[in-house]
Structure formats: C-alpha cells, structure tokens
A and B are shown apart, each in its own frame.
Chain A
Amino acid sequence: MSELKVGVLSCSGEECLGGTISRLATRQVLEELKMVTTVTLCLPLYLAGGQEERNFAKVFPTISVDGCDKLCAKRSTEKYSGKITGFIDVSKIIGKENALNTKIVRNKDLTDEHLQMVDDVASEIVKMISQMSPDSYEGKSFRGCSCGSE
C-alpha cells in the first residue's frame, strides 16, 4: 500500500514572533500527527540546494505556514518548486500584533500563552491536512522522497 505523505513548510522567520510560532507549530505536526506522514524541507534549501529540493511541492501536496502576511514560504515555494496545496497565515490566527511582535523570544523563554498559539496554529495545519483529498493532486506521487523517486 502506498503511503500518503504531506509536505509542511514553515517560514521560521527570525525577526518576529510569528516565525517562531510557525516553526514550532510545524514541528508539532511533524512529531505528533499520526493520520498521515508529514515531511518538511528547510526553506532556504530552494536556493542553496538542487533539483531534488525544488521538486518538493511537485512531489508532495504541500502546505506553507507563514508567520506574517508577507507569506514568504508560500511565495518561495511557488517560485522555486511549484503550486502549493494550501497556506496558513499565522497572523490571521494569533493576531497581527502578536505575529509581528519584534520582541523575539528564545524557545526556553516561551510562555503558556505562546505555547497556546503553537497549539492553535498546529490545529489549523491538521485541519487543512484533513480536508485534503489525495485524489485531487494529479501528478503527485504521495510517496517516495522529494527528489521524485518512488
């Protein structure tokens, strides 16, 4: 039986809280979601890597998770790798003021409020994945690795 895999790509932006939340929520989904296998890619690998990395969104139905409305992960993925399946703007979930807060925090300093934001965004990612129909992504393998091999 072929294994269903979904790509989740976060911006992991360093300048504001939204990026931190996007990274942690993506990690949470990668570690905890059991209904499908989730895979990810370091966003800057689109430029630093090769064709394998650029095949990512061609191979996997992919969701981008962006910390702010610049939507860097979404736009970079579509520029280098192909059309994405869905996107999440963290600022729409945790509020623009929180997302753009430039008082950045290290992981060890995260508060319960921050962790709740992570949970909220992770829930939205899971919801989006659960609404995806594998049949609707013609041409995508849903298995194998991001280089396109089976």
Chain B
Amino acid sequence: MDKKVKVIPCSGIGKVFGLMAREAVLKTVIELCPETSETVCLAHIVTGDTEAKAKIEGLDCITVDGCPKMCASKNVSAAGGILIEEIKVLDTVKEHKGKKFGSPTMLDADGEDVISEIAMKIKERIT
C-alpha cells in the first residue's frame, strides 16, 4: 500500500489564494517531504474516474484550500480520501494583514513567506 500522504490543493485560478494553496503544496512535496508525501491532480478526481478515485480512496489526505468553498476538501472527501487535515490558506493569511501576496499567476515575496508557513504546517501534520 502506498504510504505517502496525499497533499492536494484546490489550485484555484481566480485569486492569489488558489495559487498560494498550490505553491504551498508543491513546496511540501518537492522540497520539504518528498519521501513521505505526494500530490494528486484534483481535476482528475473531479472527473469521478475509477482510476482517479483509486489514487486516494482509503488513504490519508491533506487538503489545502484557497477560499471558503473548500473545493479540494469536498472533492477529496467525496472520492473517499481520508481527510487527516483540511488547511485553509485564509487562516494563515489573516495573520499577515496589509501585505501583498502577488497575483493568481505569480507570488510576491510576502506570498512566498506565507506559503512557506503553510508548507511547514503541512509538514508538521505529515511527520
């Protein structure tokens, strides 16, 4: 059985918070926890394909969402993933009032700092 924790962002495309979710997850799986975590295409899960479901069904998952609609969390849950943590980008963003995080296309320096914090939270939950 695949022991790697699945870390899945919403990758929302309309606001910077979706990019922050995506980048925090990529930082986790590429830089911080490459041996113990991996990501899965949320779009594939949305299709409802059996093959996509099999990637997460019954497995530990952490979702990272950029807005209160909680798309990653809802889709992963619906596909049978076991949610061991639902991270909300806005919870961390609230602690950084007044800062500019970048655009939905590219993060600024402050955005990078915040996603590093979120990535550390993900790492703590994995290890």
Contacts and interface: CB of A to CB of B under 8 A. Distances in A.
Interface of A: 10-16, 19, 23-24, 26-28, 31, 40-49, 70, 72-73, 75-76, 79, 104-108
A82 to B, nearest CB: 15
B9 A14 contact: yes
B14 A44 contact: no
Contacts of B29: 104
B71 A14 contact: no
B121 interface: no
B44 A72 contact: yes
B106 A107 contact: yes
Given A26-B13, A44-B10, A44-B71, A15 B41 contact: yes
Contacts of A72: 41, 43-44, 46-47
A6 to B, nearest CB: 15
Interface stretch (B16-24, B80-88, B93-101): B16-24
**Nearest 8 interchain pairs by C-beta:** A44-B71, A13-B41, A72-B43, A11-B43, A48-B71, A48-B74, A12-B11, A27-B105
Contact of B13 (A15, A27, A79): A27
Contacts of B54: none
B12 A42 contact: yes
Contact of B71 (A11, A13, A45): A45
B30 A40 contact: no
Contacts of B39: 14-15, 104
24 contacts: A11-B41, A12-B13, A14-B22, A19-B41, A19-B43, A26-B13, A41-B13, A42-B11, A42-B12, A42-B14, A43-B42, A43-B46, A44-B74, A46-B46, A47-B46, A47-B71, A47-B75, A49-B71, A72-B43, A75-B47, A76-B46, A79-B47, A104-B39, A106-B23
A73 B14 CA distance: 16
Contacts of A47: 46, 71, 74-75, 78
Given A27-B104, A72-B43, 15 more contacts: A13-B41, A15-B40, A40-B14, A42-B18, A42-B71, A45-B69, A45-B71, A47-B75, A48-B75, A49-B69, A49-B71, A72-B41, A72-B44, A76-B43, A106-B26
Most chain A CB atoms below 10 A, which of B30, B46, B106? B46
